[in-house]
Amino acid sequence: MRIISTRVHGILDYLVGILLIAAPWIFGFAFGGAETYVPVALGISAIVYSLCTNYELGAFHLIPMPAHLWLDLLSGIFLAASPWLFGFHEKVYLPHLLAGVTEIIVSLLTQRKPFINAAPKTNSAST
């Protein structure tokens, strides 16, 4: 059951992207290693691919919404597993795990098609 609209998902994309970028400093795990740079990199990439998604809050409409949701799902899995993949789980793991699992859940609960077609309309001039 997909209960999150693509418009709400878009708002979450930008908010979560900013939060991921700021999280190491907000939550006190900016130690200068993978624990810092993984969420920052994923936050930046989330904002970039959100800008390129064909939905209400996308600017460039290049990426179909189903592909965007796959990127979110893979990003969530990577973020949740990153403390163990990069070996920083003894320093910090809970923010990465919780944010990753949340991203996975949101990707699975979001509608696959925007309410209205967000693709820019083209004018075909008849000659």
| pLDDT value, residue 125 | 56
pLDDT tens digits, one per residue of 14-50: 999 999 999 999 999 999 999 999 999 999 999 999 9
Please list, in sequence order, all residues whose beta carbon lies within 8 angstroms of the beta carbon of residue 59, skipping any fewer than 6 positions away. 51, 52
105 falls within a domain: yes
| pLDDT value, residue 40 | 98
67 falls within a domain: yes
86 falls within a domain: yes
Q: What are the residues facing 4 on neighbouring strands?
A: 110
90 falls within a domain: yes
pLDDT tens digits, one per residue of 90-111: 999 999 999 999 999 999 999 9
Helix axes 6-26, 94-109, angle to 10 degrees: 180
114 falls within a domain: no
Q: How far apart are the C-alpha atoms of 83 and 13, rounded to whole Å?
A: 22
What pTM did the predictor assign?
A: 0.89
The whole domain housing 65 covers 6-109
User: How many domains are there within the chain?
Assistant: 1
